[in-house]
Amino acid sequence: MFEQFGIEDLRDREAALRDRIAELERQKSIAAAEQARAAAQWDAVRRQIEASAGVPTARRGRGLASEIALARRDSPIKGDQHLGFAKALVHEMPYTLAALDAGVLSEWRATLIVRESACLTVEDRRRLDHEMCADPAALDGLGNKRIRAEAKKIAYRLDPRAVVDKAAKAPEDRTVSTRPAADNMVYLTALMPLTQGIACYASLKREADVNPDGRSRGQTMSDTVYERLTGRSAVAPVPITVDVVLSDEALIGTSDEPAEVPEHGPIPAELARRLITEAIDERGWVALRRLYATPSTGALVAMDSRARTFPGGLAQFIRRRDQTCRTPFCDAPIRHIDHAEPHRHGGPTDALNGRGCCEQCNYTKEQPGWRVRTYFDPAGRHVAEHITPTGAVYRSTAPPVAGGLRILTRDVHLVTVNRAA
């Protein structure tokens, strides 16, 4: 591609590309600063509008974070973070905002400073802001860890009690979560108090140090986590429920169409068939249930019900169809089966009007000015159209679903999907 250039020309080209990358990074920081100003201004405008409408002070601004998330093509939980970050920068931390605007800080590093100062009073937060960011040269070369550590150190010096109280409350947020990894793996993450986490890791390291059977340290630690949590050998069959979406053609081996594990993602058809085979060998029988999908898109056929709440079969159908929260850009697990058109306004309890959503998105939809409209597109796919209080429209389309399989503790429920005529 560059054979016609001499070595000096190539070196000049290299330098130009380096400078272009650096300039684009600076522009990203500038854009982040401008987004923060716009978000803070939007919050002020929304509150003024709602004040004029007589909305109580405590209820003003509700739902705005979700609108910001949609505008940024991000998840609702990120919207809360974006709005809090913006208001802190614009109203309380002008030097951090200036460093972001100058490209000295990235958006993430500015976020770290804001987070570590969150427990301080406004006056102390401004002192931290001045001490850390008034001289942009002092930030040059600092990575994420050093930025966080410096902010923590200053915060503790300014108000030790606030930092200690914040740390004392932090264990209330302890939790365990999973998220998909590459190659049909999964990350299991535990957020726990510092001493407990260090003790757990030290115990796993000790187990790996005495590993006698040729496994790597990482393999030994992973197996030990599983064995200690479940009380079962790491090589024994897993006695838990796993839903696997699988077409009938893939089930019998005439197709290699990928299967789907809800809240995890696609898996190879061969792996899905192996799960079925192992389950049958373990338990000896299979119960078969059929669903129907449109031939071209894989969209599941609708179901009807007159119930106020979604009955078990219909709720399962909607969960299988939607897979994750139907709010655009939100990948959260489905917690609620919601009426798009509220039941109190005459919305039916059926598959067309039903949508899977997380708790936050369900509650946000109930705020004034929000609407959700559902329909089937010409290809038969279920579409949820979200209209925000400012009139913006965002759409999400249910992913194609071909069928399903359940592996339970004591039996196997195999659900395949036939193509509708």
CB under 8 A, 24+ apart: contacts of 194-198: none
In DSSP terms, 413 is beta-bridged to 287, 406
pLDDT of residue 96: 98
DSSP labels, 342-354: -GGGT--EETTTE
pLDDT of residue 121: 96
Q: List the structure tokens of 342.
A: 């509220």
Q: Where are the beta strands (DSSP E) in 255-306?
A: 259-261, 265-267, 287-293, 304-305
Nearest alpha carbon to residue 70 among 325, 354, 355, 351:
325
| Three-state secondary structure string covering 148-214 | HHHHHHHHHHHCHHHHHHHHHHHHHHCEEEEEEECCCEEEEEEECCHHHHHHHHHHHHHHHHCCCCC
Q: Where are the beta strands (DSSP E) in 268-341?
A: 287-293, 304-305, 336-339
Q: Cα separation of 102 and 27, whole Å? A: 9
Q: Is the dihedral of CA 274, 279, 285, 290 positive or negative?
A: negative
Rg (CA), the chain: 27
pLDDT of residue 403: 47
Q: Are strands 371-376 and 354-357 parallel, antiparallel or unpaired?
A: unpaired
Nearest alpha carbon to residue 298 among 335, 242, 258:
258
pLDDT of residue 320: 82
Q: Contact, 103 vs 25, CB < 8 A?
A: yes
Residue 4, φ and ψ in degrees, nearest 5: -80, -5
Q: Cα separation of 344 and 347, whole Å? A: 7
pLDDT of residue 279: 54
pLDDT of residue 405: 40
Supply the DSSP symbol for 356. Answer: E
Q: Cα separation of 188 and 267, whole Å? A: 18
Rounding to the nearest 10 degrees, give the CA dihedral for residues 219, 224, 227, 233.
50
Q: Cα separation of 418 and 133, whole Å? A: 62
Residue 106: CB partners within 8 Å, gap ≥ 6? 25, 28, 29, 32, 100
- For residue 41, what are the CA distances in angstroms to 82, 83, 207? 13, 10, 55
Q: Cα separation of 72 and 39, whole Å? A: 11
- Please list the rounded mean pLDDT of every run of 10 residues in the chain (421 residues): 75 93 96 98 97 94 95 94 97 97 96 96 97 95 94 95 91 91 88 93 90 84 92 71 59 67 68 63 44 55 50 81 91 89 88 91 90 90 94 91 41 40 41
Nearest alpha carbon to residue 266 among 105, 113, 402:
402
pTM, 2 dp: 0.73
Q: Are strands 412-419 and 287-293 parallel, antiparallel or unpaired?
A: parallel
